[in-house]
């Protein structure tokens, strides 16, 4: 939407929208910058409290992806007051507040509108030193790629509507989604992180492509090394998908290729739209094993070495091996 629009000519705007980064960064002083983002979603679950938790973790994740600390949040609410009871909205906000508090931030208010379908999320402001923030544009040839949450929530939520997913697999999926990326980001700060993004609605392929394009590199990602949620492959094998998969596949088609033939049920996992997904980080390859050990120690939902970064190969930014 923003292509062709002028970017503000302000030296204090450290990160704007040119590289499709996860949040904006604006310098206030020599040692303080604010990080700004907004995100809201439709309900992936029926439980309003869980919906609030997932939506809040999803929105706050953008702050962690920039290497910043969340400080203040505003609710963004669309709600059908004539269809759903007021207590549902109360529980959505209560769920969000639990994650805001866990993140060490505060809820300062918000805005609501009447709508036919409930939607909820947050506008979030974080803080970071103006010389220590992360972007999606710094990946370098020779870097390793590490992912901190498994893939597959999109297809699991759709399949769950038909009751195809076991309670155990669905519970594990939700547990990953309500997990803040706080501990993953904290662990990463002990390493020479070159680039980070969080994996959300555009799927792994879409967000990795943004990072590769912004960094002017080619990324090679190993399909067999991707962490995947229980039963996600099974759902694709049974014919389940999401409406977003097709869009995400088209989005990346001209800039990626598979190095070997991959069954469609396997390939679809890279297009699967994530909600409150993990962080995808590029760092020196020699540091990757230590980062993975640090992530395991803090209990991230996944800690997987999924690929590496190479010099740009023509117009191909992504190669899945």
Q: How confident is the model at residue 229 (pLDDT cuts 50, 70, 90)?
A: very high
- Pairwise pLDDT comparison (320 vs 16), residue with the higher score: 320
The structural domains of the chain, with segments of one domain joined by +, span 13-128, 143-320
22 touches 197 (CB < 8 A): yes
Give the pLDDT mean for 282-307: 98
For residue range 133-144, list pLDDT tens digits in order: 999 999 999 999
pLDDT at res. 1? 62
- CATH annotation of 13-128: 3.30.1330.10
- pLDDT, average across residues 208-230: 96
Mean pLDDT, residues 304-313 taken together: 96
List Cα–Cα distances, 210 to 17, 47, 197, in angstroms. Answer: 12, 33, 9
Model-level pTM? 0.94
* 127 and 33 Cβ atoms separated by less than 8 Å: yes
Q: What is the mean pLDDT of residues 17-43?
A: 93
Window from 4-13, 21-30, 225-234, 306-315 with minimum mean pLDDT: 4-13
Residue 97's DSSP bridge partners are none
pLDDT of amino acid 310 = 97
Checking if the pLDDT of 20 tops 90, the result is no
- CA-to-CA distance for 22 and 70, rounded, in angstroms? 14
| pLDDT > 70 in the chain, percent | 99
Average pLDDT of the chain?
95
Q: Is pLDDT above 70 for 3?
A: no
Element (H, E) at 173: helix 167-178
| Both structure tokens of 222 | 């190993």
* Residue 222 confidence class, pLDDT cut points 50, 70, 90: very high
- What pLDDT was estimated at residue 45? 93
Structure tokens at 124: 């979030």
Confidence grade of residue 236 (pLDDT, cut at 50, 70, 90): very high
Report pLDDT digits (tens) over 48-100: 999 999 999 999 999 999 999 999 999 999 999 989 999 999 999 999 999 99
**What confidence score (pLDDT) does residue 9 get?**
82
CA separation for the pair 215, 108 (Å, rounded): 36
pLDDT band of 25, cuts 50, 70, 90: very high
Instruction: Assign domain 143-320 to its CATH superfamily.
Output: PurM-like C-terminal domain (3.90.650.10)
Which helix H or strand E contains 319, and what residues bound it? strand 318-320
**pLDDT per position as a tens digit, 157-208:** 999 999 999 999 999 999 999 999 999 999 999 999 999 999 999 999 999 9
Place of tokens 């999401």: 242
Residue 163, both tokens: 């009751």
User: What mean pLDDT comes out for the span 269-277?
Assistant: 97
């Amino acid at each position: 939407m923003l292509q062709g629009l002028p970017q503000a000519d302000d030296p204090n705007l450290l990160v704007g929208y040119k590289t499709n980064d996860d949040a904006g960064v604006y310098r206030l002083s020599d040692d303080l910058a604010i990080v700004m983002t907004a995100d809201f979603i439709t309900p992936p679950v029926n439980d309003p409290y869980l919906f609030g938790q997932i939506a809040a973790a999803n929105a706050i994740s953008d702050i962690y992806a920039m290497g910043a600390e969340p400080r203040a949040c505003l609710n963004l609410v669309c709600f059908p007051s004539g269809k759903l009871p007021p207590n549902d909205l109360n529980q959505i906000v209560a769920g969000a507040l639990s994650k805001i508090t866990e993140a060490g931030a505060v809820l300062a208010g918000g805005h609501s509108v009447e709508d036919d379908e409930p939607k909820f999320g947050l506008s979030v402001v974080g803080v970071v030193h103006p010389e220590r923030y992360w972007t999606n544009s710094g990946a370098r040839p020779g870097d390793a790629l590490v992912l901190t949450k498994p893939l597959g929530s999109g297809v699991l939520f759709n399949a769950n509507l038909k009751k195809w997913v076991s309670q155990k697999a669905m519970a594990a999926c939700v547990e990953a989604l309500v997990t803040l990326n706080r501990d993953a980001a904290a662990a990463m700060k002990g390493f020479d992180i070159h680039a980070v993004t969080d994996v959300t609605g555009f799927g792994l392929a879409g967000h990795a492509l943004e990072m590769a394009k912004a960094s002017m590199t080619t990324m090679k990602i190993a399909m067999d090394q991707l962490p995947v949620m229980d039963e996600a492959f099974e759902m694709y094998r049974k014919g389940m998908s999401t409406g977003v998969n097709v869009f995400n596949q088209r989005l990346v088609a001209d800039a990626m290729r598979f190095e070997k033939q991959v069954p469609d049920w396997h390939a679809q996992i890279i297009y699967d739209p994530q909600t409150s997904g993990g962080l995808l980080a590029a760092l020196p390859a020699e540091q990757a094993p230590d980062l993975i050990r640090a992530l395991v120690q803090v209990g991230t939902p996944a800690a997987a070495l999924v690929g590496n970064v190479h010099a740009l190969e023509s117009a191909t930014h992504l190669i899945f091996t």
